Each structure stands twice: as C-alpha cells, then as structure tokens.
Amino acid sequence: MKTILVAVLISFAYLTACSQQPTSQQAMHNPYYSRTDTQKLHVDNAAWKKILPDQLYAVSRENATERAFTGKYWKTDEPGTYYCAVCGNPLFRSGAKFASSCGWPSFFKTIRPNSVLYLADNSYGMERTEVRCGRCNSHLGHIFDDGPPPTHKRYCMNSVSLDFEADSMKR
C-alpha cells in the first residue's frame, strides 16, 4: 500500500510539473518563453538569433512570411489557445479562429487588447497594418478589415509565429 501511495504521489508531482512546462520544442530552449509572465521583453536580435529556429527567426525578427497553405495551424480547428512562439504571450482563443481561405490561420479578435501591437506597414507598395506580439515585439502577421462579425477583422497570422495548446492538454 505504501509503495502504491508513493508511486501515485510521484506521478502526480511529475504530471503537475510537466503541465507547467512549454509544450513546443523551441520553447523549452528559450529562457524568455513564459505563458504567465506579462513583462515586456527587451531582447536584441543577436540574442534571439542564438535561441530561435531559423524559420521562426526569419518571420518573427525579419518580417518574413511563410508560404500560404503550408503552416501547421492554417486548418486547425481544435479548441485551445494560441501563444506567441517566441515568448509565450497568449494571443488568440480558438473560438475566434475562422476559415478565411487565405492560407494562414485567421482570427477575428485577440485574447486581450494589449496582446498585440499594430504598426503601419507600407512595404511592397501596399498599405497594411502589421501585427506584432505585445510582449516581445515579434512579427506575427497582418490585420485586415474583411473578417467576420462582430469585429469584421481578419488577423492573418504566420503559423510558425504561433504555439498552440489544445484545451484537452491543459490539466
């Protein structure tokens, strides 16, 4: 009986500790990644380059864009939360995700107003609004005014810039 109790306690401690760890491989090697810390980060690109995978660095720090219909989350419809893949900042709930047919994950609202920042983007001869993480200032994608009610917004995000945790994974 005592052995069973010890085994149960060890299992509980292990599961509790694991549930608080980052779920993505890249987040486990990133000392700035936290899903609970809301402090703004001021990390230079040289430090990010050392810890971020190449594609994530290119999109988040150099404003690159992944090809349409290639990202891991553009068709995901599972209930859960989307976080910034660079710093862990909560960005979107799956209830705000919709199928926009643009080839990137699209949302009509953020989790909270300060989850993201907005910047004018006039690159490539277009007038757009860039969306950046409100915590680490990483490029996430762009926002457009052609989304569904009630906001009529379409946050068009790069999958590589997002981490996803399904509700079934939360303990």
Q: Per-residue pLDDT tens, the chain, 171 aa: give them.
A: 544 433 333 333 333 333 344 455 556 689 999 999 989 999 999 999 999 999 999 999 999 999 999 999 988 889 999 999 999 999 999 999 999 889 899 999 999 999 999 999 998 899 999 999 999 999 999 999 999 999 999 999 999 999 999 998 665
Active site residues per annotation: 156
* Domains of the chain listed by start with CATH number: 23-169 (2.170.150.20)
Helix (H, G, I), strand (E, B) or coil at 118: strand
Instruction: Quote the CA–CA distance of 132 and 110 in Å, as a whole number.
Output: 12
The pair of three-digit structure tokens given for residue 24, joined into one six-digit string: 């993505």
Which pLDDT score, from 0 to 100, does residue 170 have?
A: 60
- What is the four-CA torsion angle of 22, 27, 76, 58, rounded to 10 degrees? 170
- The Cα–Cα gap between 122 and 129 comes to 8
d(C-alpha 147, C-alpha 77), whole Å: 17
What are the Cα distances from residue 116, in Å, to 5, 7, 104? 46, 44, 17
Give the pLDDT of residue 168.
83
pLDDT of residue 40: 96
Q: Which amino acid is at 74?
A: W
Q: Tell me the whole-structure pTM to 2 decimals.
A: 0.82
